[in-house]
Amino acid sequence: MENGITRRQALAASAGCLALTRCSLVSGHRPPPRVSIVRAAYTQALYDTVRRLLVEHRVDVRGRRVVIKPNLVEFDPGTTVNTHPMLVHAALEGFRALGAAEVRIAEGPGHRRVTMDLADAAGYFETIPHFEDLFTDLNLDEVSQVLLQDPFSRLNSVYFANTALAADLLVSLPKMKTHHWVGATLSMKNFFGLVPGSVYGWPKNVLHWAGIDECIADFHAAFPRHFAIVDGIVGMEGNGPIQGNPKAVGVLVAGKDMLAVDATCCRIMRINPSGIRYLRLAAGPNRLDEENIRQIGEHIKDVQTPFELMPHFQTLRL
């Protein structure tokens, strides 16, 4: 694929999938999005927990190409910074069990070029058999330019990694973290890793100048076929996404609607989701309201764990 294609063209060419416009995501009547909150730990039981989550959300991936996008950021054997490899493996196994034709793991870290070494240090090679064959470094992937329709950011187009564009289902598997620039980094912010460092560099600073919140909202619209499982077993509070401190919550938060998933994560972290600019931008009116999200599993109040916030984000506190 070469320059100047729209996401619609990319999908039509590769998978004959659905159209995208931002409007299609925010208009029309539809049932409230469902978001699961389940208690979990980094034990063998996690595999069964993830499989049940996927069944509960009727994720139909039979014959489809699934791309799992974890959050790999820094060398950190403790995996406070990175999505835990066991959760990634559990998702891989879960989608395979549901009949996916192909399941790949893919990530393009924002600061570090040495993605495979980073994954190695984070335990991915050890935990996930044949990891190297299953993984695509999105920073070094082939790329296509996608024209953004009615963008929030100052970008009219953006290059994305082809592995992400060709996915029938893109699964965001982030850590539950606070973020020093945008308040919280969850399933939507995780899509920054779909943008190739080979084009934009390390860091992908063009996105910052174009508006971080606005880019997050744009990328959310550009990849409408998604599912999210947020690793809140141990998250990060304070000066995230790198320099914060571990915060144990003991939950996974999952659903087909990333806005609803991220809004729910915020409430668990005792952050007002309406205070997160990118959520407001992407959501439109009322979509972030708690009554407009159908919670499954644990109640928010039963797992709510206040995350320490940077001083400039204290007003986000619920």
**Interface contacts to other proteins, rule CB under 8 A:** 2-3, 75, 111-114, 116-118, 120-121, 137, 140-143, 145, 159, 180, 198-203, 205-206, 208-209, 239, 242-243, 310
Least CB distance to other proteins at residue 10 (A)? 14
> Is 143 or 173 the residue whose CB approaches other proteins more closely?
143
Least CB distance to other proteins at residue 134 (A)? 14
Least CB distance to other proteins at residue 243 (A)? 5
Query: Are 122 and 231 a contacting pair, CB within 8 Å?
Result: no
Least CB distance to other proteins at residue 235 (A)? 18
Least CB distance to other proteins at residue 109 (A)? 11
> Is 64 or 175 the residue whose CB approaches other proteins more closely?
175
Least CB distance to other proteins at residue 48 (A)? 33
> Is 73 or 293 the residue whose CB approaches other proteins more closely?
73
Residue 26 CB-density burial (10 A; 0-12 exposed, 13-18 middle, 19+ buried): middle
Least CB distance to other proteins at residue 71 (A)? 17
In Å, what is the CA distance from 71 to each residue of 8, 13, 225, 236, 291?
26, 28, 19, 13, 29
> Is 111 or 317 the residue whose CB approaches other proteins more closely?
111
> Is 20 or 207 the residue whose CB approaches other proteins more closely?
207
> Is 132 or 302 the residue whose CB approaches other proteins more closely?
132
Alpha carbon distance 58, 36 (integer Å)? 12
Residue 48 C-alpha from the chain's centroid: 21
Q: Which long-range contacts (CB under 8 A, 24 or more apart) does 50-54 make?
A: 50/87, 50/90, 50/91, 50/93, 50/94, 50/229, 50/252, 51/90, 51/93, 51/94, 51/97, 53/94, 53/229, 53/252, 53/254, 54/94, 54/95, 54/98
Phi, psi of 193 (to 5 degrees): -75, -5
Q: Which run of H or E residues covers position 95?
A: helix 85-97
Phi, psi of 108 (to 5 degrees): -130, 90
Q: Is the dihedral of CA 309, 71, 293, 297 positive or negative?
A: negative
Least CB distance to other proteins at residue 31 (A)? 41
Alpha carbon distance 56, 58 (integer Å)? 6
> Is 118 or 228 the residue whose CB approaches other proteins more closely?
118
3-state secondary structure of 228: strand
> Is 118 or 269 the residue whose CB approaches other proteins more closely?
118
